[in-house]
Structure 1
């Protein structure tokens, strides 16, 4: 019997003809797909699901406790490819915010393939759970308490699985969290070379401690990607808004007197942003058309930005060639 394909790897029927669509039709199709980030997909739990919201709120509370002793504690964000680049971007951004609040920065990131993977795809690094574990041990040496957040859109990356397994063996120090976008039963269950577990087996270990609030799975189902398997699209977007909702909520609780902005309110604001962005479909379509003309004539697309916006351009450009064969980052 053929195993059921993970939702993150399926074809989205909404975009079957995206390759022959006009620029305006392309933007409209992307709008329809992005709506699934907030409205959910099929019968599966969406981002506002009660269990998922409880886990997001619980993780936000843990962030508050970590930040109260940030010199001895740490928050580690880890992932492969785009997930790791988002980890880098968010860790950097929130460390800046902590400095402004007079708090010792305690965010750190781990990226499969190392820092060179910030700029170019390093596929082999994703398949090494032992290296992932070793990087985590090194990054958290001397820390008293560590909130580990592993990002793997397909619930599949061995690099993250090795780190999660280590955290679960050392729950006196680590609080593990996994963010992904498949149901538990569709997590990768294939043997990992030179390792003793599958991703699903480690994930089941995480679920066994979730009721004790010693670990958490945050896995809203946002549906298949507009371009099949390209989890840097909806998966990347959902990752960013979940993480930022957790951290913004925690910082507001810690530093805005008498105010407790729950994470769901931050998520609501992102949904408003989504709605407002697509009100400009015709303008976005003009940019899509110009970009297509440039690439079809042998030209380039240049990203020009500063600080965090420049980094987001880097993140987007770094995967355009290996994912879409579109262009090289400049």
Structure 2
């Protein structure tokens, strides 16, 4: 049986107090970062290859179904506003299409060739990379896409929370944070989903840093899409240049990004 389907280590959780439930969930969550840590060498291998491929106009595709697909879309959607990357460099696809983001379309994950078919609208090239996300490691929509991508010369990777899975065997790089059974038996939106999210954070954050989208420890290319981000950007400029906050804000709005201010402003 898959690790993610094993019985919870906690019996009679329906009889627990709220405090006992929360403590149990927290105890299980503490195991996740340890599982992810073991996978750093594999994540490093993927990111190192991605840097060169993205520089050569390749793209990063995340494919998944259900929770896994939604996590990929979430990570992809945050890259342009956070790092100022153009739309379409990191792309998230979910079995069942965009309507599956909000409403479960469970049967869509069984379409073996659906993932690769969904990618065709993007004019795939050999510099692209496919990362399949599947807690079970057995999702046909994802496995089929990885195998089709392999046949077409793309780099492939997988993120799964079960050992020796079909998706890991299919991918060039298999990332496997195994965190044990869920607190609520089989509910992979919990530990497995959290582990996947942590890995996705690591992939794209390290990738964007190595692509030059961070200066020091600051998101200097972030999009100024709301008041909070204008304030954050202004504070970055104050910290870097030692000028008054109002002047920093004026310069930020004039030049459009923290990076542009730092590149153009002379003290």
TM-score (norm 1): 0.61
Q: Does 1:11 pair with 2:10?
A: no
* Residue of structure 2 aligned with 1:179, choices 155, 159, 184: 159
**2:146 aligned residue:** 164
Superposed CA RMSD in Å reads 1.9
DSSP-derived class of the 1:227 partner: coil
Q: Which residue of 2 aligns with 1:23?
A: 18
Contact 2:36–2:198, Cα closer than 8 Å, also in 1 = no
Give the drift of 1:133. 2.1
Residues 174-213 of structure 1 aligned to structure 2 (within 5 Å): 174-184=154-164, 187=165, 200=166, 203-206=168-171
For residue 47 of structure 1, what is the aligned residue in structure 2?
Answer: 36
**d(CA) in 1 for partners of 2:63 and 2:115?**
9
Flag as ranges the 4+ runs of structure 1 deviating above 6 A: none
What is the alpha-carbon distance in structure 1 between the residues aligned to residue 173 and residue 99 of structure 2? 30
Indicate the SS of the match to 1:120. coil
1:147 aligns with 2:129: yes
Does residue 118 of structure 2 align to residue 135 of structure 1? yes
Give the gaps of 5 or more residues in structure 2. Answer: 218-267
Deviations 1:173-229 (A, max 9, x none): x11010001111xx3xxxxxxxxxxxx3x64343xxxxxxxx200002111111111
TM-score norm. by structure 2 comes to: 0.75
Partner residue in 1 for 2:196: 239
SS in 2 for 1:109: strand
Residue 59 (str. 1) matches residue 54 (str. 2): no
d(CA) in 2 for partners of 1:131, 1:225: 29
Q: Give the Cα–Cα distance (whole angstroms) in 2 for the partners of residues 240 and 164 of structure 1.
A: 20
Q: 1:77 to 1:205 in 2, by over 3 A?
A: closer
Which SS does the other structure have where 2:37 is aligned?
A: coil
